[in-house]
Amino acid sequence: MLGIIFLVLCFCILIVVAIYNNLVRLSNLVKNAFSSIDVMLKRRYDLIPNLVETVKKYMDYEESVLKRITELRVEATQSNISIDEKVKIDNDISSNMSKIFALSEGYPDLKADESFLKLQTATIDVENEISAARRSFNSSATEYNININVFPNNIFAHFFEFKEISLFKTDDTENVIIKLR
Amino acid sequence: MHINISDFQKTYYENVKPLEDGIKQEKKKIYIIISIIIIITFVIIMISQMNIDIYSNMKEITDSYLTIIIIDFFIIIWLVNSFTSKLKNKIFPGLFKSIDSNFVYSSKAKWQIDQFTDSGFYNNKINSCMSEDNLYIKTDNQDINIYELEVTHGQGKQEKTVFSGLFAHIVLNKSFKSDVKIIYNKHKDFGIIKSMFANEDKVNLENIEFEENYDVYCTDQIYARRILTLTFMEKLLQATDKINNRIQISFKNNNIYIAISGIKLINDEALFFKKIDMVMILKTLDNIMEIIEVINFLELDEQIV
């Protein structure tokens, strides 16, 4: 009898260990995916000063857009912001960048500027990277969220304090990229 | 690239049709030869039947009849094959050129088994790889080779066709960072293939319909999503619906491999007995172009490295 109880206990411990390890694995995948987004967002922030400087020479009348994007860059580089705030700022930056490229249509000299063209290509590249990284993060986060919500994982997730992660929702970056083209 | 039917019709009637009419005369000659062979065989059998008496060995007679019929059969096959190969060499280069000046057709493809192995569509040892028709397409930024292919695995009774269809190989001037494989996951006869990819990194994508049709494998989850954008997935699904054949795509180093199962460039069997099926050839080419258009949408030369 004691042997059976011991076996059942061992089995239960093994299940808990397996669930815990799986949750840790998924949580690490999500963290890894988010750090990839972070790296790419930094690449995008690094492009902003150059873009503003290049555009400023030609687009004197669009000062408000340039000022706004510079402010957003400063906000985004602050270290104490949450994922949700980061997502919001990121969306604002995306829409302002696409606004700059849309406005550039009215400035033929700017459109012919070599450094502007290089920045435009680099921006498309970064936006594609961000879009892919965001989708990868969302896929990992969805899998993680499902896992911490299903029974019996939810009991252990609550006990070991695995919290639900918000998805990286955006105003459809792919559309922004198409507009940039 | 789209096939312009009116341009094709014009060049076809100017250049290819006269050749086709010439070939028809040869076809008539072959029909006459085949008829003569059949008549001679029939006469031989009739004469020998008349000389048979009750003491004749029936087995020996039947064997000799069979030998004659088999020899006839091989002669007819040889005649048909030589006609088909002559027709292919004479007509098809011009015919494909008349469809598009960038098309170069060859009836004997310089095929290397490594190309199929390199694609990663099948990881086990390939037994044989047969290729007949080849179409080379040169565009401004790409070299595309399309092969009609039949690949088998195993020997004797265990021999199994792992791929039969068209295999396109595109060489780019840039390399992919990671290998990405798009595998059709509704294979009936390719169950082995699917199971072989189980250990590789599967990429879960957000398009449910795409996930129902395809499995994507790549070691770099983000890079796979750079290639498989939402629009690319939609376009590939549209192409799959239109073509109605199984499509698999592999991005590896500076190569793109596309495998379309159950489709032929030229139906050799029907060439002798029927007319050249231009509708089928144009439809096949249009299908191939549809897939290449989907790939070109990625603007790989400009963006992904």
The neighbour count for residue B20, using CB atoms within 10 Å, is 16
Look at A132 and B226 and tell me if their CB atoms are within 8 Å.
yes
The count of CB pairs under 8 A between chains A and B is: 38
Interchain CB distance below 8 Å, A143 and B204: yes
Residue A8 has a pLDDT of: 92
Residue-wise pLDDT tens digits, A22-45: 999 999 988 888 888 888 888 888
Our CA-based measurement puts residue B260 at a distance from the nearest CA of chain A, in whole angstroms, of 27
Chosen domain end from B66, B99, B132: B99
Would you say A102 and A145 are in contact if contact means Cβ atoms under 8 Å apart?
no
User: What is the domain count for chain A?
Assistant: 1
Looking at the predicted structure, is the pLDDT value of residue A77 above 70?
A: yes
Residue where one domain finishes, among candidates B49, B82, B99: B99
ipTM of the complex as predicted: 0.72
| B85 shares its domain with B126 | no
Domain that holds residue A100: 18-180
Kindly indicate the confidence band of residue B187, based on its pLDDT and cuts at 50, 70 and 90. Answer: low
The larger pLDDT score, comparing residue A6 to residue B111, is at: A6
Evaluate if residue B182 carries a pLDDT over 80. yes
pLDDT of residue A24: 92
Q: Of all residues in chain A, what percent carry a pLDDT higher than 70?
A: 92
Chain B nearest-CA residue for A134: B222
**Mean pLDDT confidence for B267-274:** 73
Shortest CA gap B225–chain A (Å): 5
Domains held by chain B: number: 2
Q: Please calculate the CA angle B268-B271-B272 and round it to the nearest 5 degrees.
A: 120
Is A11 within the bounds of a domain? no
Angle between helices A2-56 and A63-76 (to 10 degrees): 150
The answer to whether residue B69 sits within a structural domain is yes
Average pLDDT, chain B: 79
- Say what the pLDDT of residue B148 is: 86
Distance from CA of B130 to the nearest CA of A (A): 39
| Same-domain pairing of B191 and B243 | yes
Look at residue A61 and tell me whether its pLDDT is greater than 70: no
**Domain annotation covers residue B303:** no
pLDDT score at B111? 66
User: Are B130 and B272 contained in the same domain?
Assistant: yes
Are B148 and B256 members of one domain? yes
- The mean pLDDT of A77-87, rounded to a whole number, is 78
In a domain, B164, yes or no: yes
Q: B144 and B279 share a domain?
A: yes
The reply to whether B39 and B142 lie within a common domain is no
Q: Place B303 in a pLDDT band, splitting at 50, 70 and 90.
A: low
User: B112 and B232: one domain?
Assistant: yes
pLDDT per residue as tens digits for the range A86-121? 888 888 888 888 888 888 888 888 878 888 888 888
What is the predicted pLDDT for the residue at A175? 42
Same domain, B151 and B48: no
Same-domain pairing of B201 and B283: yes
User: Across the interface, do A135 and B225 touch by the CB < 8 Å criterion?
Assistant: yes
The pLDDT tens digits of the residues spanning B231-268 come to 888 888 888 888 877 888 999 888 889 888 888 888 77
Which of the pair, B132 or A138, is modelled with greater confidence? A138
Is B221's Cβ below 8 Å from some Cβ in A?
yes
A129 has a chain B CB within 8 A of its CB: yes
pLDDT for the residue numbered A145: 92
Q: Quick check: B302 pLDDT over 60?
A: no
Q: Residue B132: is its pLDDT beyond 80?
A: no
Looking at chain A, which residue has its C-alpha nearest residue B305?
A: A125
Query: Which chain B residues touch A129 with a CB distance below 8 Å?
Result: 222, 226
- Owning domain of residue B25: 5-99
Q: Is there a domain that residue A10 lies in?
A: no
Query: Looking at the domain assignment, is residue B59 inside a domain?
Result: yes
Query: Does A12 fall in a domain?
Result: no
Query: Does any CB of chain A come closer than 8 Å to the CB of residue B229?
Result: yes
B112 and B194 assigned to the same domain: yes
B8-12, B37-41, B192-196 — which is least confidently predicted?
B192-196
In a domain, A87, yes or no: yes
A167 part of contact set with chain B, CB < 8 Å: no
Q: How confident is the model at residue A178 (pLDDT cuts 50, 70, 90)?
A: very low
Instruction: Examine the domain organization and report whether B125 and B273 are in the same domain.
Output: yes
Residue B302 lies in a domain: no
Residue B66 shares a structural domain with residue B171:
no
Structural domain includes residue A31 = yes
A165 belongs to a structural domain: yes
Q: What is the mean pLDDT of chain A?
A: 82
Q: Among B99, B133, B168, identify where a domain stops.
A: B99
CATH number of the domain at A40, please.
1.20.1440.20
**Range with lowest mean pLDDT among A126-140, B72-86, B185-199:** B185-199
